[in-house]
Amino acid sequence: MMPARASTVSRPRRWATAAVLALLLILTAQILHAIHGQSLTWDEGDHIFAGYESWETHDFGLNPEHPPMVKLLATLPLLPLHLNVPPLQHRFFKTESYLDGQQLLFHNGPSDGGRYTAETLVFLARLPTVLFALAAAVLVFLAACEMFSLRAGLIALTLFCFDPTLLAFGAYVTTDMAASCTIFATIYALWRYLQRPTRARLFVVGLAAGLALAAKHSTLLLAPMLVLLLLGEFVRLWLTRTFAYPMHRAASSRLTWADGPGPPTLLRYALHLFTVLAVITVTAVLILWAFYGFRYSARPVGLALSPSLADYVGPLASIEARGILFAARFHLLPESYLYGLADVRRMANDMPSYFFGHVYLHGIWYYFPAVFLIKSTLSLLAALALTAFALARGYLRLARALWFLIAPPALYFAVAMSSHLNIGARHILPVWVFCCVLAGAGLSALIDHNRRWLYFAVAILLFQIATTLRASPNYIPYSNEAWGGPTHTYRYLSDSNTDWAQQLIATSAYLRQHHIRRCSIAYFAAPFILPADYGIPCRLLPTPDSLFTDTIVPAPAHIDTRTDGPILISAGDLSSFELGSSVLNPYQSFTNVTPTAFIEDGIFVFNGSFDIPLAAALAPTQRANALLAASNIPAALQQATLAESIAPNSVQPEIALGDALAATNNKSAARQAYARAAFTIQTMDPDARAQWLTIIQKKLAAL
C-alpha cells in the first residue's frame, strides 16, 4: 500500500513539473521568435558597444546612464569574435556610444572585410538576456507556490509566459526585464528571510538587491520599498504582540528565534530590523562596486568624462545635485553610476511625451495608469479585478504575503506617476511581474472557495493565450482589444509603446515585395540606426534626433510619390513628440492622411502629393546656426533667409533668421523675425509656449 500512496502523491508533482517546463520552453520560443525578426532597437547599439568596451578596455564612461550588468552579460558571446572596433572620437558620451555602436554592429560584415553580419551580432547579444525573463518566470512560479499554492503558481506562470508586454522586453539588450526580475527577486527573498531567518537567506536578499542596483538606476527604489516592508513587518508584529528576535546561532547555521531574559521590546526588535536593512544595504553596495571592478573612476587612466560630473549635475535640483556630489566626494558609489543617476534625473526633467494624440512638453501624472490599462491584457485586468473581489470577500487572507506583493509595485507605480519620463510601459514593467502573482493568488483563492470559479479561471487563461498568439511576434505595439489592438496603439502612445525602431527588417521585406526602389523615410532612430543598413533604399528625411545631433539631412519641399516613390514615416516621427510641441512637427500634416500601408503597427506608408516645407527648411536652418557659430555671418544669413523663404512663420527658421540679422546689427529686421516666431509660438500649449517665449524674450533683450 505504501508504494501506491507514494505514486499517488508524486503524480501531481510530476504533472506540475512537466507543465512548468513546457511553459518555460514556450516562453523561450516566443521570445526568440520575436527577436529573430526585429531590427536593432533604439538603445541596443549603445548598450552593446559600451558593454564590449567595458570588457576590452574597462571603460565604464561610454554608457554611464545605465549600470553595467546587462551590458556585460549581453556582450559575453561577442568576446571570442574578432571584431573591428571603431576608434573613439571623444564626442559627447551619448553620441559616441550610439554612433560607435552602429559602426561596430554594421561594419563587421563581409562587405567590410569582416565575418559577422549585424543580424548575427545582435542576435548573439540578445540571447543571454533571455535569462532574465526565464529567471523572472521561475521566481513568479516559486513565489506564488510558496506564498499561496501550487495552483496559484501555475496560474501566475501562465499569465507571465503569455503576457505581450513582458514578452516584448524579454530579450533586448536593455535594462527593463533585468530590473523587473531583480526587484521581484529582492522582495521575494526578503519575504523568505522573514519566514525563516537565516544568515544564508539574508545574504540572498543582499545579493538580489546588489544585482538590482547593477541592472538599472530605478532599482534605487528598492531602498524605500525595503523600508516600507520592514516597517509593515514591525507594525504587524506590534499589533499581534508576537515579537521575536534572533538570540544566538545554532550549530545548523540557522538563526533561532527565542525570547531574551526579559520580555521583548519594541526597541530591540526595531534594532534587529534596522540591522537587517543595514546588512542588505552593505551587501548590495559591495556587489554594485564589484561590477565596476571596485574602481571609482568611470574611465581608464588618460580618459575623463566630458562634461565632468560636477558640470553635468548643474541643471538638477539643488538637493539632487548636492546629494550626488556628496557621494562623489567620498567615493560612496562609482563615478559612472553617479553620472548615470544624474543623467536619469535630467532625462526625467526634460523629456516630452505623447498621449492620446497630444504632445506635452513634460509628463502627465495619469500617463502610467492609462498605459497600464491599455497595455495589459483584458485577461490580466479581469484576474486583478477578481483578486480585488476575493480580498473584499475575505477569500484571500495572507496579510504578510499580500503586503509584500502590493506595497512594492504600488510605491514604484506612484513614483512613476510623479515622473516626467513618460515614454513607455517598460518603465513600469516590474508592476506586471507582481500582478501576475497577485492574479494567480486571487483566482486560486476563488477556486478554493467554490470550484465553479475554475471555469472562469480557465476562460481567462485561454483568452490570455489567444490574445498573445494573435499579437505574436510583434509585441511592442500591443494594446488590448478594448483599445482597438496593436494597430491603434499609435493613436494613444508613442516611443517604446509602439515604435522602438524594431521594424526595419519587416520594412525591407515590404519594399522588396512591392518592388520599391525609390522612397523617402523619416525614421525614429535615425541617425543612430540607419535604414540603409537593412537594405532599405529610401532617402532619409530629417527627424528630431537628426536635429539634436546636428546631423544635416536635406529634404525637398515637395514630394510626389508617383515619381519619387512612397513616403515612410515611423510612428515616433509622425508625432515628433521629442520636439515638445505639434507646432514644431515637420510631418504634422500627415496625421490627417490615410496611409496606404502600416508596417508592423509602427511605420506608415503614404502615397500622393505632399508639401513638407518645414522638413525642407530644417537643413538650411541647421547650416545657418552652424555658420553663425563659426562667425561666418554672411553665409549664415544666406542660409537663414533660404530657410525662412521655404517655411515662413515657422519657429526654427524665423529664430535662425533673427539670430543672423542680429549678428549683422540689423536689429529692426531681427525683431520682426523674432516677432513672427513669437506669433507662431502663441499657438503652442502653455508649457511649450512659455519655454519658447522665454527664449524669444532673451534674444530680444540682447538686442
The contacts found for 78-85 with CB under 8 angstroms, 24 or more apart, are 78/48, 78/52, 78/121, 78/124, 78/125, 79/52, 79/55, 81/115, 81/116, 81/121, 82/115, 83/52, 83/108, 83/114, 83/116, 83/121, 84/108, 84/112, 84/113, 84/114, 85/52, 85/53, 85/56
Q: 336-390 pLDDT, tens per residue?
A: 999 999 999 998 888 999 999 999 999 999 999 999 999 999 999 999 999 999 9
Residue 187: closest CA among 152, 217, 155, 229: 229
Q: Which domains are assigned to the chain? A: 129-467 (no CATH), 495-611 (no CATH), 615-702 (1.25.40.10)
Distance CA 197, CA 230 (A): 14
pLDDT at 241: 62
Q: Where are the beta strands (DSSP E) in 169-310?
A: 246-249, 255-257
Element containing residue 79 per DSSP (H, E): none
**What is the Cα gyration radius of the chain?**
28
pLDDT at 415: 96
| Residue 608 zone, left/alpha/beta (φ > 0; ψ -120 to 50; rest) | left
Answer whether 432's CB lies under 8 Å from 167's CB: no
Contacts of 600 (CB under 8 A, 6+ apart): 474, 477, 502, 503, 506, 507
pLDDT at 19: 96
pLDDT at 242: 54
Distance CA 276, CA 291 (A): 23
Q: 189-230 pLDDT, tens per residue?
A: 999 999 999 999 999 999 999 999 999 999 999 999 999 999
Distance of CA 603 to the CA centre of its chain: 20
pLDDT < 70 regions, the chain:
1-12, 241-264
pLDDT at 410: 98
pLDDT at 264: 53
pLDDT at 1: 37
pLDDT at 257: 37
Distance CA 170, CA 472 (A): 13
pLDDT at 2: 39
Residue type, 195: Q
